[in-house]
Structure 1
């Protein structure tokens, strides 16, 4: 692996991470990565940065854990958690490209060894696209893994039988009506891929994704960590408590079963970025663009991909959380940069968010925010809930139903964020003038009409 020339800059940036990341702006409260790991009792972190031109820099921090703990290196494998879905989606789309599958075909055309039912035993019409996009409305399930000697088969997971600790996978929402993130979608997808091809899932992904993308230190085979125990980061619960056995077995391979390194993960995101530009030999432009396109209007998930596509902060990829591990892998396409980071702790997310915020500041597209127009006035959410907006020197002040006025933070894409709440505001024009105020909290959007 070659040192890219930006290694010094990265080492310097990881020496000044922001503890206060919610604003997106660098605060005076900065800390070096090892100190941040110590604060959250995260034993190990691995990070890799790659560019479309082939430059790569990677480093490990801390230790793998366990009684024979060794330093984390760029070659240390971690559980890739839900990034497994991102990889499985890429492989699925390669089968779509080859005509083996069709995105909008009913999954009943492919499933032979198991059938999806609703609670009354009926078979709903669900498509491959809906499985990939988490819009099929399947059971809300998080898969926690098993000790290796007590792991069920995938069919047992789907049926909720044998040693399985989760409920059967069922259709519980109207297919295609809304987004519901759940690993159950990818369990069904995994069985579908096996039925449609006749190839074990881990072998299929090796052929479709891991080998072509040169992800040599990655595998869906659950024997992988046992075959290289000194080159695997052992998982930890919160507070640094070691996970018994070091890691868990995940029969739900497509949902959460990948083992990988940050260097391997960023290779995939860079390949997808090339495909979106029409420069990939593995996936065509239209299918790659679908990966980056929200499948529900206004949503934040494409086909196996988390989407952050707003001016000033465009990134695409996936995050992950398994028992004992956390991780992310993203590409910032306007800068040609991909960054992946992995930890062996359930408490690793605060550390990862600080790293990701630093990357956003460095590589996200800079866009100048236009000053708001004439948005001043009263907006009414309900008869008993007025919202008053004032604009002074280009700053928007928000005051709602007896609350203290606050100055909103303007985003480049036209949104305004409340400084202390999970609340974003957008002004909706009509005939050239703001006619309504859209409020979005926890993914729920409400509209206040201008009085």
Structure 2
């Protein structure tokens, strides 16, 4: 295990964070975490790094609220934003494991307090799996929260009634046909879990997830921050302006309403990693593997989990953005390390991606370059966009439609750079599957699959 002293490994990293992270390699444009906090006017940041062995390092930077001297500590709770979905999914899968829910059963079998309809008032065929994977095609919604004294109930959110500021939750796309990220999927999941068990959602999550994993600084109860105001980070808009009241209430708790710390979030991701290796008492291996298996071919989302699945670059977890807060929690399963970071600012994402990039460089395993002859052939980016890879004078050449062939520049870890474009390519292979060609341009990765015939 590397990083025998996590603080010695991470303190230098936080003094040299890369501000140009799209390439995945350290650039000369670096800044300290404190500098980035000042540039983006982020009052507070909390970070935790851990390993499946149980080793954990934590650090707090800045203050819990702008204009105060209350420091951020390991016990300071932040809004976990959409990481709430990740935790809620773990709870739902524990109900699947107990036989209370079935992943592929229609949600209508469980919902009794409210019924999911399409725009014409008909009941669509939607499964629990599709809710977890954001493939049910429900209303495109982002939840901005409410003042504590004007928050609707979850049923009002689903119905679009009372003080609710979002439209009614409806089926608007063909279920199962595509991925569309939306908090509405987890609002339906929340009501479904309540109806199926008869328990309030925050109590249910306490029993299924938080207590068994000793996540003592976490809660889905919207009264949680009011009971410990000195241990809660206040949210801030861009530019450092405080959120009125300190934070917003989120009746859509499964989608965006959890309060937590980076240390607690690590416990979840490391437990999923253990479960995927059949070393968890809470979740079996098959269900844990489902969590970080893309549910749409070529997709990047499993069951409540964001997935980066490239050979030697695997990580899973979740990111989050609420009014006043940003955060991420990821585990690199091949190395057994996890990193979580939370800020009390909507502008915190710029420094969070730099922290995540540092973790990628430190904990992602190395790709072994494939023999040149193993990667040659035709790949299809789209049906009408073939890419041909050949070997000329001992170098890989890259040919795209209407473009001149070019010799690629070999880089580390089996990656190749186009000499004239912001284009990086590599050739991953998962298990016994054929190699694919992955292209990254401006930080966006696309996958080209092998053609059925070789180029003429």
Same fold (TM over 0.5): yes
- The reply to whether residue 43 of structure 1 matches residue 43 of structure 2 is yes
Aligned to 1:214: 214
Aligned to 1:394: 395
Aligned to 1:244: 244
Contact 1:389–1:399 at 8 Å: present in 2 too?
A: no
Aligned to 1:158: 158
Aligned to 2:90: 90
Aligned to 1:269: 269
Q: Per-residue deviation at 1:440?
A: 8.3
- The reply to whether residue 370 of structure 1 matches residue 370 of structure 2 is yes
Contact 1:96–1:103 at 8 Å: present in 2 too?
A: yes
The residue matched to 2:314 in structure 1 has which SS? Answer: strand
In the superposition, relative to structure 1, how do residues 8 and 446 fare at CA in structure 2: closer, same or farther (>3 Å)?
Answer: closer
The whole-number CA distance in structure 2 between the counterparts of 1:272 and 1:160 is 35
The whole-number CA distance in structure 1 between the counterparts of 2:79 and 2:420 is 35
Aligned-residue RMSD, C-alpha: 3.2
In the superposition, relative to structure 1, how do residues 380 and 42 fare at CA in structure 2: closer, same or farther (>3 Å)?
Answer: closer
Q: Per-residue deviation at 1:399?
A: 6.1
Contact 2:330–2:339 at 8 Å: present in 1 too?
A: yes
The whole-number CA distance in structure 1 between the counterparts of 2:350 and 2:422 is 18
Q: Per-residue deviation at 1:237?
A: 1.2
Q: Per-residue deviation at 1:324?
A: 0.9
Contact 1:426–1:439 at 8 Å: present in 2 too?
A: no
Contact 1:18–1:27 at 8 Å: present in 2 too?
A: yes
The whole-number CA distance in structure 1 between the counterparts of 2:355 and 2:289 is 26
The whole-number CA distance in structure 1 between the counterparts of 2:305 and 2:140 is 18
Contact 1:319–1:327 at 8 Å: present in 2 too?
A: yes
Deviation sequence 1:337-388 (CA, Å, 0-9, x none): 11100011111111111111111111111121225438489999799x8978
Scaled by the length of structure 2, what TM-score is found?
A: 0.88
The whole-number CA distance in structure 1 between the counterparts of 2:332 and 2:237 is 31
Describe how 1:110-189 pairs up with structure 2 within 5 A: 110-189=110-189
In the superposition, relative to structure 1, how do residues 5 and 119 fare at CA in structure 2: closer, same or farther (>3 Å)?
Answer: same
The whole-number CA distance in structure 2 between the counterparts of 1:359 and 1:427 is 21
Q: Per-residue deviation at 1:401?
A: 3.9
The whole-number CA distance in structure 1 between the counterparts of 2:349 and 2:399 is 31
Q: Per-residue deviation at 1:410?
A: 6.5
- The reply to whether residue 280 of structure 1 matches residue 280 of structure 2 is yes
Deviation sequence 1:259-296 (CA, Å, 0-9, x none): 00000000011111111111111111111111111111
Aligned to 2:323: 323
The whole-number CA distance in structure 1 between the counterparts of 2:328 and 2:370 is 32
The whole-number CA distance in structure 1 between the counterparts of 2:67 and 2:379 is 64
Question: How many pairs align?
Answer: 443
Aligned to 1:64: 64
Q: Per-residue deviation at 1:144?
A: 0.6
In the superposition, relative to structure 1, how do residues 25 and 148 fare at CA in structure 2: closer, same or farther (>3 Å)?
Answer: same
Aligned to 2:107: 107
Task: Show structure 1 runs of 5+ residues with no match.
Answer: none
Q: Per-residue deviation at 1:254?
A: 0.3
Q: Per-residue deviation at 1:230?
A: 1.7
The residue matched to 1:327 in structure 2 has which SS? Answer: strand
Q: Per-residue deviation at 1:68?
A: 3.6
In the superposition, relative to structure 1, how do residues 412 and 322 fare at CA in structure 2: closer, same or farther (>3 Å)?
Answer: same
The residue matched to 1:310 in structure 2 has which SS? Answer: coil
The whole-number CA distance in structure 2 between the counterparts of 1:135 and 1:379 is 25
Describe how 1:305-320 pairs up with structure 2 within 5 A: 305-320=305-320
Aligned to 1:234: 234
Contact 1:409–1:416 at 8 Å: present in 2 too?
A: yes
The residue matched to 2:309 in structure 1 has which SS? Answer: strand
Deviation sequence 1:164-199 (CA, Å, 0-9, x none): 111111101111111111100000000000000110
Aligned to 2:76: 76
